[in-house]
Amino acid sequence: MPTTRLLPALLAVVLLTGCASNGGSANADDPIEGFNRGVYSFNEGLDTYALEPASKGWTAVTSSEVRDSVDNFFDNLESPGYILNNILQGKPVDAGRETFRFVLNSTVGLLGLFDPAAAWFGVEGRAEDFGQTLGVWGADDGPYLVVPLFGPSGARDVTQYPVAYYTNVLTYVTLDTLSFGALTAVNVVNSRALMEDAARFRDDAAVDPYVFTRSAYRQYRQNAVYDGNPPLDDDPYTDFFEEMEDDGSPEG
């Protein structure tokens, strides 16, 4: 999942925890911080000089309804992966809900361009990936890792990418590399356009956006593994936010 797809979730975690600004590195498990910062800078440069201009152009020629439909379409293509990971996590009810969403949205919803499952039946989707599955199985998240093009991740979470590729309908319906690349580019640019406000907020609110993203990402993943109810005594960033409050950082 690219960084731009994660930003709203990351920001929500930080705001709910009570702070969106800091002045130093968190006590994170980041043993290769120098390398990670280099990749982070590369990703940010790519965003600044390619993705952001492309997303602004896309926004200029599309309506918000079109962008939402495009997002629904690509999210629907990922549904088989969500179903599989729910099964692997021992959540048959959630797997059934995702299956219902996939079937209804792929047919009545015109290949996922629309979301009648949510609009008519209140069945909202929730992404589940293989990194979360390993976390449910008890695997530690491991060292923090920034992946070129994809953004924040970890030793455990990088496993989600090959699994997501092979469970994405797009992998099997595109006829050639060019069409696959073109559709992927549309997905990335559309996602970046949807997250413009979130990206601006992160950059304006954080003294060090790298630390902001790293800290929020680890909490976001912890929250995802426990379906929104992580154990309070297992929060690796409690001290981080307490330190920022002690330093007089503004609470959000």
List the chain domain ranges: 3-16+29-241
CA distance linking residue 217 with residue 223, whole number of Å: 10
Q: How confident is the model at residue 8, as a pLDDT?
A: 53
What span, in angstroms and rounded, lies between the C-alpha atoms of 24 and 249? 12
Q: Which residues of the chain have pLDDT under 70?
A: 1-28, 205-206, 233-252
* Nearest-angstrom CA–CA distance, 213 and 252: 16
| Inter-residue contact 124 to 97 (CB < 8 Å) | no
Q: How many CA atoms lie within 13 A of 46 on its CB side?
A: 16
Q: What's the pTM value of the predicted model, to 2 decimals?
A: 0.81
Q: What are the φ/ψ torsions at residue 153 (nearest 5 degrees)?
A: -160, -160
Distance (Å) of CA 240 to CA 86, 145, 211: 32, 19, 11
Share of the chain above pLDDT 70, in %: 80
What pLDDT score does 87 carry? 98
CB 132 within 8 A of CB 222: no
Q: Which pLDDT score is estimated for 230? A: 85
| Torsion-angle region of 150 (φ positive above 0: left; ψ -120 to 50: alpha; else: beta) | alpha
Q: Report the chain's mean pLDDT, rounded to a whole number.
A: 84
The pLDDT of residue 231: 82
- Report strand pairing: 144-147 vs 151-154: antiparallel
